[in-house]
Every structure is written in C-alpha cells, then in structure tokens.
Amino acid sequence: MTKKTTKPKAKKVKPKHFSFSQTSLDRMKGVDQRLIDIAHKALSISAVDFGIPQYGGIRTGKEQGWLYSEGKTKLDGLVKRSKHQDGLALDVFAYVNGKASWKEEHLTAVADAFKESAKAMDIKIEWGGDWQNFVDMPHFEIVDKDIGGDPSSIVLAGIPLKRG
C-alpha cells in the first residue's frame, strides 16, 4: 500500500506595506488632495518604497527659481510657472535598501503604482518620465482640463498660452 504524500502548503507571504515618513507627509502639505490620495494608494501597492524629497511638494516662486538656476527644471517660476507652485505636482524618490534611489528601474516601478492608482480613482495624471522634451522621472502631476503637463507649454499666471 502506497502512502499518499501531500506537499506542505507554501506560506502566504504578506505583501510589504510601506508608509510615508513624517518628513514626506510634511512635504506633501499644500499639495492637491487628489494627488496626496493617489500617492498614498500608490505606496500601498508599489513594489518599491518611495518618499517625497525636499522641494518635492508645493514650491514658492523663489524655490522654483533656484531649482531653475541649478538646471533641475525648465520652468523658472515667473514666466513659466511650475505646477508645483499651485500644488498640482509631486516629485518622489525611490527608497531601496535604506537609501534614496533615482534609478530608472525603481522610479518606473513607482510610476506604475501611481498610474494604476490614479486610474482606479478616475483622476488623470501625467508622469514626467513619459515626457519627450524634458524627461523628469520623479515627477507626477494632476492634469486638469485644457492644461497640459509637458514643460514645453508656457503657463503664465495659471493660464496656458497657446503656441503659434
């Protein structure tokens, strides 16, 4: 008589749930609530942990101008306003093995979670990693009607100016 053997059941591995640090939460203050909600949902489903860097949330004109002078943005904060200045944008960094990471593979994984979360919430966003003229992989922004996200579009006092 042969004894029937059964394989031991594999333990279900609980997915790792990440949470924002208090610093990241503070850096999101003043950002559009829709984008904050997307970020929280994205963090709950992301395969890669992430946080919000300094100047990753809302920015003053002076902060935007400084980032422009450092070559970190194409928008000077005066003639070309950033959506960060209106709380409609959020930058992230991946957090891997206890360190900040700006690697494409990590930021792409974060972007996948952002896109999935925004779609589930029926909110249109753009990821700077999809832009053609200025690839900005850490950047996510709300896309409101008639306002594009690519920094090649000029926005003055919150009103998009059409190019000829």
- pLDDT single digits (tens) 38-87: 999 999 999 999 999 999 999 999 999 999 999 988 999 999 999 999 99
Q: Which residues contact 147 (CB under 8 A, 6 or more apart)?
A: 155, 160
Task: Provide the residue range defining the domain that includes 149.
Answer: 22-161
* Domain annotation covers residue 12: no
* Domain annotation covers residue 39: yes
Q: What is the CATH number of the domain that holds 99?
A: 3.30.1380.10
Asked if the model's pLDDT at residue 154 lies above 60, the reply is: no
pLDDT of residue 134: 85
Is residue 111 within 8 A of residue 105, CB to CB? The reply is no
Q: What is the pLDDT of residues 87-108, one digit of tens each?
A: 999 999 999 999 999 999 999 9
User: What's the domain count of the chain?
Assistant: 1
With cut-offs at 50, 70 and 90, classify the pLDDT of residue 148.
very low
Q: Using a CB cutoff of 8 Å and minimum separation of 24, what contacts does 5-8 make?
A: none
* pTM assigned to the model: 0.78
